[in-house]
Amino acid sequence: MTGRLTLPQGFPTEVMLLERPAEDSLPEGPWFLLADRKLRPAWEASGLPQPPGTLWVEVDEGSKRLPTLLPWLEHWAEAGYHRDATLVALGGGVLTDMGGLAAALFLRGISWHAWPTTLLSQVDAGLGGKTGVNLAAGKNLAGAFHSPARMVACRSFLRTLPPRDLAAGRWELVKMALLDGDASIALRMLEEAIPEPESLAFALRRKAEIVHRDPLEHGERRLLNLGHTLGHALEAASGHTLLHGEAVGLGLLAACCLAGALGMETFPEAFLRRMADALRPLAARVKPWSLCEAYLKRDKKALGSGADEERILSILPVPGRTAIQKALAPRSWEEAHTLMNTRLA
Ligand SMILES: NC(=O)c1ccc[n+]([C@@H]2O[C@H](COP(=O)([O-])OP(=O)(O)OC[C@H]3O[C@@H](n4cnc5c(N)ncnc54)[C@H](O)[C@@H]3O)[C@@H](O)[C@H]2O)c1
Protein backbone atom coordinates (compact mmCIF):
# COMPACT_ATOMS: atom_id res chain seq x y z
CA MET A 1 0.00 0.00 0.00
CA THR A 2 3.02 2.32 0.29
CA GLY A 3 4.55 3.87 -2.82
CA ARG A 4 3.09 6.18 -5.43
CA LEU A 5 -0.68 6.60 -5.15
CA THR A 6 -2.88 6.39 -8.20
CA LEU A 7 -4.70 9.69 -8.41
CA PRO A 8 -7.03 11.29 -10.97
CA GLN A 9 -5.37 11.83 -14.34
CA GLY A 10 -3.93 15.33 -14.61
CA PHE A 11 -3.77 15.86 -10.84
CA PRO A 12 -0.95 18.38 -10.35
CA THR A 13 0.66 16.63 -7.37
CA GLU A 14 2.34 13.24 -7.42
CA VAL A 15 1.72 11.63 -4.02
CA MET A 16 4.14 9.19 -2.41
CA LEU A 17 3.22 7.38 0.76
CA LEU A 18 6.35 5.90 2.38
CA GLU A 19 7.31 4.15 5.59
CA ARG A 20 10.43 6.31 5.90
CA PRO A 21 12.24 9.00 3.88
CA ALA A 22 14.07 7.75 0.82
CA GLU A 23 16.57 9.57 -1.36
CA ASP A 24 14.88 8.57 -4.61
CA SER A 25 11.80 10.60 -3.66
CA LEU A 26 13.83 13.82 -3.62
CA PRO A 27 13.72 16.14 -6.66
CA GLU A 28 15.67 15.04 -9.72
CA GLY A 29 17.14 18.49 -10.52
CA PRO A 30 18.59 21.24 -8.29
CA TRP A 31 16.76 21.67 -5.02
CA PHE A 32 17.02 23.18 -1.56
CA LEU A 33 15.46 22.39 1.77
CA LEU A 34 13.27 24.52 4.04
CA ALA A 35 12.71 22.49 7.16
CA ASP A 36 11.39 22.51 10.71
CA ARG A 37 14.33 22.29 13.13
CA LYS A 38 12.53 19.58 15.08
CA LEU A 39 12.90 17.25 12.10
CA ARG A 40 16.65 17.66 11.82
CA PRO A 41 17.58 14.53 13.84
CA ALA A 42 15.20 12.37 11.79
CA TRP A 43 16.42 13.84 8.49
CA GLU A 44 20.07 13.38 9.41
CA ALA A 45 19.48 9.88 10.76
CA SER A 46 18.01 9.00 7.36
CA GLY A 47 21.25 10.10 5.71
CA LEU A 48 19.44 12.45 3.35
CA PRO A 49 21.39 15.35 1.84
CA GLN A 50 21.20 19.02 2.84
CA PRO A 51 22.05 21.05 -0.25
CA PRO A 52 23.56 24.54 0.07
CA GLY A 53 20.80 27.06 0.71
CA THR A 54 19.11 24.71 3.20
CA LEU A 55 17.32 26.49 6.03
CA TRP A 56 16.36 24.86 9.33
CA VAL A 57 13.72 27.14 10.84
CA GLU A 58 11.41 27.40 13.81
CA VAL A 59 7.87 28.44 12.92
CA ASP A 60 4.56 28.40 14.68
CA GLU A 61 1.10 29.84 14.16
CA GLY A 62 2.26 33.18 15.63
CA SER A 63 5.13 33.56 13.15
CA LYS A 64 3.03 32.39 10.19
CA ARG A 65 3.24 35.93 8.80
CA LEU A 66 4.61 37.54 5.64
CA PRO A 67 7.69 39.14 7.25
CA THR A 68 8.94 35.66 8.24
CA LEU A 69 9.24 34.76 4.54
CA LEU A 70 11.41 37.68 3.51
CA PRO A 71 14.77 36.48 4.91
CA TRP A 72 14.16 33.08 3.34
CA LEU A 73 13.65 34.64 -0.10
CA GLU A 74 16.75 36.80 0.36
CA HIS A 75 18.74 33.74 1.41
CA TRP A 76 17.76 31.70 -1.67
CA ALA A 77 18.42 34.65 -3.99
CA GLU A 78 21.82 35.08 -2.35
CA ALA A 79 22.51 31.36 -2.83
CA GLY A 80 21.92 31.91 -6.55
CA TYR A 81 19.04 29.51 -7.18
CA HIS A 82 17.30 29.75 -10.54
CA ARG A 83 13.80 28.96 -11.73
CA ASP A 84 14.71 25.34 -12.38
CA ALA A 85 15.25 24.76 -8.63
CA THR A 86 12.71 22.96 -6.46
CA LEU A 87 11.95 23.83 -2.85
CA VAL A 88 11.44 20.88 -0.51
CA ALA A 89 9.32 21.96 2.48
CA LEU A 90 9.63 19.60 5.45
CA GLY A 91 7.43 20.14 8.50
CA GLY A 92 3.89 20.51 9.79
CA GLY A 93 1.08 22.45 8.15
CA VAL A 94 2.47 25.81 9.27
CA LEU A 95 5.79 25.09 7.53
CA THR A 96 4.25 23.63 4.34
CA ASP A 97 1.72 26.49 4.06
CA MET A 98 4.54 29.03 4.37
CA GLY A 99 6.99 27.08 2.23
CA GLY A 100 4.42 26.74 -0.53
CA LEU A 101 3.77 30.47 -0.48
CA ALA A 102 7.49 31.24 -0.50
CA ALA A 103 7.83 28.94 -3.54
CA ALA A 104 5.00 30.83 -5.25
CA LEU A 105 6.80 34.12 -4.62
CA PHE A 106 10.44 33.22 -5.26
CA LEU A 107 11.41 34.21 -8.81
CA ARG A 108 7.65 34.61 -9.47
CA GLY A 109 7.05 30.95 -8.75
CA ILE A 110 9.22 27.84 -8.57
CA SER A 111 8.25 24.22 -8.19
CA TRP A 112 7.99 22.76 -4.67
CA HIS A 113 7.62 19.42 -2.95
CA ALA A 114 5.65 19.09 0.30
CA TRP A 115 7.08 16.72 2.91
CA PRO A 116 4.41 16.99 5.61
CA THR A 117 5.46 15.59 8.99
CA THR A 118 2.36 15.91 11.18
CA LEU A 119 -0.72 13.77 10.71
CA LEU A 120 -2.83 16.85 10.05
CA SER A 121 -0.51 18.05 7.33
CA GLN A 122 -0.14 14.59 5.76
CA VAL A 123 -3.89 14.19 5.50
CA ASP A 124 -4.90 17.76 4.79
CA ALA A 125 -2.52 20.72 4.58
CA GLY A 126 0.12 19.12 2.34
CA LEU A 127 -2.25 18.39 -0.51
CA GLY A 128 -4.55 20.66 -2.44
CA GLY A 129 -2.48 23.68 -3.38
CA LYS A 130 -3.60 26.13 -0.68
CA THR A 131 -0.61 28.05 0.67
CA GLY A 132 -0.67 31.06 2.93
CA VAL A 133 0.10 33.12 5.98
CA ASN A 134 -2.02 34.84 8.62
CA LEU A 135 -2.97 38.52 8.72
CA ALA A 136 -3.96 40.45 11.83
CA ALA A 137 -7.59 40.10 10.73
CA GLY A 138 -7.49 36.31 10.60
CA LYS A 139 -5.91 33.01 9.66
CA ASN A 140 -4.64 32.25 6.15
CA LEU A 141 -5.89 35.54 4.73
CA ALA A 142 -2.89 36.05 2.41
CA GLY A 143 -1.78 33.27 0.13
CA ALA A 144 -1.85 31.64 -3.25
CA PHE A 145 -3.05 28.47 -4.87
CA HIS A 146 0.26 26.81 -5.75
CA SER A 147 0.16 23.01 -5.81
CA PRO A 148 3.27 21.07 -4.84
CA ALA A 149 4.59 19.02 -7.74
CA ARG A 150 5.08 16.15 -5.28
CA MET A 151 3.95 15.31 -1.79
CA VAL A 152 5.94 12.77 0.20
CA ALA A 153 4.24 11.49 3.35
CA CYS A 154 6.47 9.28 5.54
CA ARG A 155 4.80 7.41 8.38
CA SER A 156 8.08 7.28 10.34
CA PHE A 157 7.81 11.04 11.02
CA LEU A 158 4.55 10.46 12.88
CA ARG A 159 6.36 8.44 15.55
CA THR A 160 7.99 11.54 17.08
CA LEU A 161 4.79 13.59 17.10
CA PRO A 162 3.46 14.51 20.55
CA PRO A 163 0.47 12.21 21.28
CA ARG A 164 -1.85 15.20 21.48
CA ASP A 165 -0.94 16.34 17.93
CA LEU A 166 -1.35 12.79 16.67
CA ALA A 167 -4.78 12.47 18.26
CA ALA A 168 -5.83 15.87 16.92
CA GLY A 169 -4.77 15.02 13.36
CA ARG A 170 -6.73 11.76 13.52
CA TRP A 171 -9.98 13.74 13.38
CA GLU A 172 -9.10 15.01 9.89
CA LEU A 173 -8.82 11.36 8.85
CA VAL A 174 -12.16 10.56 10.46
CA LYS A 175 -13.61 13.52 8.61
CA MET A 176 -12.65 11.99 5.27
CA ALA A 177 -14.49 8.76 6.14
CA LEU A 178 -17.57 10.66 7.34
CA LEU A 179 -17.61 12.65 4.11
CA ASP A 180 -18.67 9.39 2.50
CA GLY A 181 -20.89 8.52 5.45
CA ASP A 182 -18.70 5.51 6.26
CA ALA A 183 -18.86 4.97 10.03
CA SER A 184 -16.97 1.66 9.91
CA ILE A 185 -13.90 3.20 8.24
CA ALA A 186 -14.17 6.17 10.60
CA LEU A 187 -14.23 3.81 13.57
CA ARG A 188 -11.21 1.89 12.30
CA MET A 189 -9.33 5.18 11.91
CA LEU A 190 -10.18 6.13 15.49
CA GLU A 191 -8.63 2.91 16.77
CA GLU A 192 -5.31 3.06 14.88
CA ALA A 193 -2.44 4.41 17.02
CA ILE A 194 -0.37 5.39 13.99
CA PRO A 195 -2.69 5.40 10.98
CA GLU A 196 -2.20 2.43 8.69
CA PRO A 197 -1.09 3.19 5.12
CA GLU A 198 -4.58 2.14 3.91
CA SER A 199 -6.19 4.87 6.02
CA LEU A 200 -3.77 7.53 4.84
CA ALA A 201 -4.17 6.42 1.22
CA PHE A 202 -7.97 6.45 1.54
CA ALA A 203 -7.97 10.03 2.83
CA LEU A 204 -5.40 11.29 0.33
CA ARG A 205 -7.15 9.76 -2.67
CA ARG A 206 -10.51 11.13 -1.59
CA LYS A 207 -9.10 14.60 -1.02
CA ALA A 208 -7.30 14.53 -4.38
CA GLU A 209 -10.53 13.56 -6.20
CA ILE A 210 -12.46 16.41 -4.64
CA VAL A 211 -9.74 19.02 -5.07
CA HIS A 212 -9.18 17.96 -8.68
CA ARG A 213 -12.84 18.50 -9.56
CA ASP A 214 -13.05 21.83 -7.70
CA PRO A 215 -9.56 23.28 -7.20
CA LEU A 216 -10.73 26.79 -6.30
CA GLU A 217 -13.47 25.76 -3.84
CA HIS A 218 -16.50 26.91 -5.78
CA GLY A 219 -18.64 23.92 -4.80
CA GLU A 220 -17.67 20.35 -3.98
CA ARG A 221 -14.41 21.28 -2.22
CA ARG A 222 -16.47 22.99 0.46
CA LEU A 223 -17.40 19.48 1.63
CA LEU A 224 -13.91 19.29 3.12
CA ASN A 225 -15.17 21.80 5.68
CA LEU A 226 -17.21 19.05 7.33
CA GLY A 227 -16.74 19.53 11.07
CA HIS A 228 -15.18 22.94 10.56
CA THR A 229 -18.34 25.06 10.79
CA LEU A 230 -18.66 24.81 14.55
CA GLY A 231 -15.06 23.60 14.82
CA HIS A 232 -13.53 26.94 13.84
CA ALA A 233 -15.80 28.77 16.28
CA LEU A 234 -14.93 26.38 19.13
CA GLU A 235 -11.22 26.71 18.34
CA ALA A 236 -11.33 30.53 18.31
CA ALA A 237 -13.60 30.79 21.36
CA SER A 238 -11.23 28.52 23.32
CA GLY A 239 -8.47 31.07 22.71
CA HIS A 240 -6.78 28.29 20.70
CA THR A 241 -6.41 26.07 23.77
CA LEU A 242 -8.19 23.55 21.55
CA LEU A 243 -5.96 22.37 18.70
CA HIS A 244 -7.44 22.69 15.22
CA GLY A 245 -7.92 18.92 14.82
CA GLU A 246 -9.52 18.64 18.27
CA ALA A 247 -11.99 21.37 17.39
CA VAL A 248 -12.74 19.58 14.11
CA GLY A 249 -13.45 16.38 16.07
CA LEU A 250 -15.93 18.24 18.27
CA GLY A 251 -17.40 19.87 15.16
CA LEU A 252 -17.84 16.44 13.56
CA LEU A 253 -19.74 15.14 16.57
CA ALA A 254 -21.90 18.28 16.55
CA ALA A 255 -22.59 17.92 12.80
CA CYS A 256 -23.63 14.27 13.27
CA CYS A 257 -25.98 15.29 16.11
CA LEU A 258 -27.39 18.18 14.09
CA ALA A 259 -28.10 16.01 11.04
CA GLY A 260 -30.17 13.75 13.30
CA ALA A 261 -31.97 16.70 14.87
CA LEU A 262 -32.89 17.95 11.39
CA GLY A 263 -34.63 14.65 10.69
CA MET A 264 -31.88 13.15 8.56
CA GLU A 265 -30.76 9.56 8.93
CA THR A 266 -28.48 9.14 11.95
CA PHE A 267 -25.23 7.26 12.43
CA PRO A 268 -25.25 4.14 14.64
CA GLU A 269 -25.51 4.99 18.32
CA ALA A 270 -22.38 2.92 19.13
CA PHE A 271 -20.36 5.05 16.71
CA LEU A 272 -21.61 8.35 18.15
CA ARG A 273 -20.85 7.08 21.65
CA ARG A 274 -17.31 6.10 20.61
CA MET A 275 -16.73 9.56 19.15
CA ALA A 276 -18.04 11.21 22.30
CA ASP A 277 -15.81 8.98 24.48
CA ALA A 278 -12.74 10.03 22.51
CA LEU A 279 -13.69 13.71 22.73
CA ARG A 280 -14.81 13.81 26.39
CA PRO A 281 -11.36 14.84 27.74
CA LEU A 282 -11.76 18.06 25.73
CA ALA A 283 -15.11 19.00 27.28
CA ALA A 284 -13.57 21.48 29.72
CA ARG A 285 -12.19 23.48 26.79
CA VAL A 286 -15.57 23.82 25.08
CA LYS A 287 -16.83 27.37 25.58
CA PRO A 288 -20.53 28.20 25.95
CA TRP A 289 -22.54 28.98 22.83
CA SER A 290 -22.70 32.68 23.75
CA LEU A 291 -18.91 32.88 23.20
CA CYS A 292 -18.91 30.79 20.02
CA GLU A 293 -21.81 32.44 18.18
CA ALA A 294 -19.95 35.55 17.02
CA TYR A 295 -17.10 33.47 15.60
CA LEU A 296 -19.51 31.22 13.77
CA LYS A 297 -21.22 34.20 12.13
CA ARG A 298 -17.90 35.82 11.24
CA ASP A 299 -16.61 32.64 9.61
CA LYS A 300 -15.91 33.02 5.91
CA LYS A 301 -18.47 30.35 5.17
CA ALA A 302 -21.31 32.58 6.38
CA LEU A 303 -23.36 33.36 3.28
CA GLY A 304 -23.56 36.69 1.33
CA SER A 305 -25.91 39.46 2.32
CA GLY A 306 -29.62 40.25 2.50
CA ALA A 307 -31.95 37.35 3.31
CA ASP A 308 -29.03 34.91 3.45
CA GLU A 309 -26.91 37.10 5.70
CA GLU A 310 -27.67 35.14 8.82
CA ARG A 311 -27.33 31.73 7.24
CA ILE A 312 -24.26 29.57 7.55
CA LEU A 313 -23.17 27.23 4.79
CA SER A 314 -23.05 23.94 6.67
CA ILE A 315 -21.89 20.46 5.79
CA LEU A 316 -23.91 17.58 7.19
CA PRO A 317 -22.81 13.93 7.14
CA VAL A 318 -25.23 11.24 5.94
CA PRO A 319 -24.74 7.51 6.69
CA GLY A 320 -23.81 5.59 3.55
CA ARG A 321 -23.78 8.64 1.29
CA THR A 322 -21.78 11.76 0.47
CA ALA A 323 -22.28 14.61 2.95
CA ILE A 324 -24.62 17.40 1.91
CA GLN A 325 -24.28 21.18 1.91
CA LYS A 326 -27.09 23.17 3.49
CA ALA A 327 -27.58 26.81 4.48
CA LEU A 328 -28.66 26.89 8.12
CA ALA A 329 -29.58 29.59 10.60
CA PRO A 330 -27.11 30.02 13.49
CA ARG A 331 -29.80 28.71 15.90
CA SER A 332 -29.38 25.26 14.30
CA TRP A 333 -25.75 25.35 15.36
CA GLU A 334 -26.79 26.46 18.82
CA GLU A 335 -28.84 23.26 18.99
CA ALA A 336 -25.85 21.27 17.67
CA HIS A 337 -23.66 22.82 20.38
CA THR A 338 -26.18 21.74 23.03
CA LEU A 339 -26.52 18.21 21.64
CA MET A 340 -22.76 17.83 21.46
CA ASN A 341 -22.36 18.99 25.08
CA THR A 342 -25.02 16.54 26.21
CA ARG A 343 -23.06 13.71 24.64
CA LEU A 344 -19.81 14.92 26.22
CA ALA A 345 -21.33 15.16 29.72
N1 LIG B 1 -3.16 24.36 3.22
C2 LIG B 1 -4.19 23.71 3.67
O3 LIG B 1 -5.03 23.20 2.91
C4 LIG B 1 -4.34 23.53 5.15
C5 LIG B 1 -5.28 22.60 5.65
C6 LIG B 1 -5.35 22.42 7.03
C7 LIG B 1 -4.53 23.14 7.89
N8 LIG B 1 -3.62 24.03 7.36
C9 LIG B 1 -2.73 24.78 8.25
O10 LIG B 1 -1.91 23.84 8.93
C11 LIG B 1 -1.47 24.45 10.15
C12 LIG B 1 -1.50 23.44 11.27
O13 LIG B 1 -0.64 22.38 10.91
P14 LIG B 1 -0.16 21.29 11.97
O15 LIG B 1 -1.31 20.79 12.73
O16 LIG B 1 0.69 20.36 11.21
O17 LIG B 1 0.66 22.15 13.04
P18 LIG B 1 2.15 22.69 13.05
O19 LIG B 1 2.69 22.86 11.71
O20 LIG B 1 2.13 23.87 13.95
O21 LIG B 1 2.93 21.50 13.78
C22 LIG B 1 2.60 21.15 15.11
C23 LIG B 1 3.86 21.00 15.96
O24 LIG B 1 4.51 19.79 15.64
C25 LIG B 1 5.90 20.01 15.37
N26 LIG B 1 6.26 18.94 14.48
C27 LIG B 1 6.03 18.84 13.15
N28 LIG B 1 6.37 17.62 12.71
C29 LIG B 1 6.82 16.93 13.79
C30 LIG B 1 7.29 15.61 13.98
N31 LIG B 1 7.31 14.72 12.98
N32 LIG B 1 7.69 15.24 15.22
C33 LIG B 1 7.62 16.10 16.25
N34 LIG B 1 7.15 17.36 16.14
C35 LIG B 1 6.76 17.76 14.92
C36 LIG B 1 5.94 21.40 14.85
O37 LIG B 1 7.22 21.99 15.04
C38 LIG B 1 4.89 22.08 15.73
O39 LIG B 1 5.45 22.41 16.97
C40 LIG B 1 -2.34 25.66 10.39
O41 LIG B 1 -1.60 26.82 10.18
C42 LIG B 1 -3.45 25.53 9.33
O43 LIG B 1 -3.89 26.79 8.88
C44 LIG B 1 -3.53 24.23 6.03
Predicted confidence band of residue 272 (pLDDT cuts 50, 70, 90): very high
Residue among 64, 212, 221, 343 flagged as catalytic:
221
Render 251-298 in DSSP notation, one character per residue: HHHHHHHHHHHTT-----HHHHHHHHHHHGGGGGGPPPHHHHHHHHHH
> For this structure, is 221 an active site residue?
yes
Predicted confidence band of residue 300 (pLDDT cuts 50, 70, 90): low
What number is the average pLDDT over the span 109-137?
95
pLDDT of residue 75: 96
Contact 312, 228 (CB under 8 A): no
> For this structure, is 225 an active site residue?
yes
> For this structure, is 228 an active site residue?
yes
Residue nearest to atom 41 of ligand 1 (CA): 94
If phi > 0 it is left, if psi is from -120 to 50 it is alpha, else beta; for residue 172 that is alpha
Specify the fold of 164-344: Dehydroquinate synthase-like, alpha domain (1.20.1090)
Q: Is the pLDDT of residue 175 over 60?
A: yes
Nearest CA to 264 out of 332, 311, 215 is that of: 332
Q: Looking at the domain that runs over 3-158, which CATH code has it been given? A: 3.40.50.1970
Q: Is the pLDDT of residue 60 over 80?
A: yes
Q: Is the pLDDT of residue 139 over 90?
A: no
Ranges in the chain annotated CATH 1.20.1090.10: 164-344
Residue among 23, 28, 78, 108 flagged as catalytic:
108
Q: Is the pLDDT of residue 302 over 60?
A: no
pLDDT of residue 324: 96
Q: What would the pLDDT profile of 310-322 be if each residue is shown by its tens digit?
A: 789 999 999 999 9
The Å distance, Cα 120 to ligand 1 centre, comes to 7
Q: Is the pLDDT of residue 256 over 70?
A: yes
Ranges in the chain annotated CATH 3.40.50.1970: 3-158
Q: What would the pLDDT profile of 70-107 be if each residue is shown by its tens digit?
A: 999 999 999 999 999 999 999 999 999 999 999 999 99
Q: Is 159 helix (H, G, I), strand (E, B) or coil?
A: coil
> For this structure, is 108 an active site residue?
yes
The Å distance, Cα 166 to ligand 1 centre, comes to 11
Say which DSSP state 5 is in: P
The Å distance, Cα 338 to ligand 1 centre, comes to 30
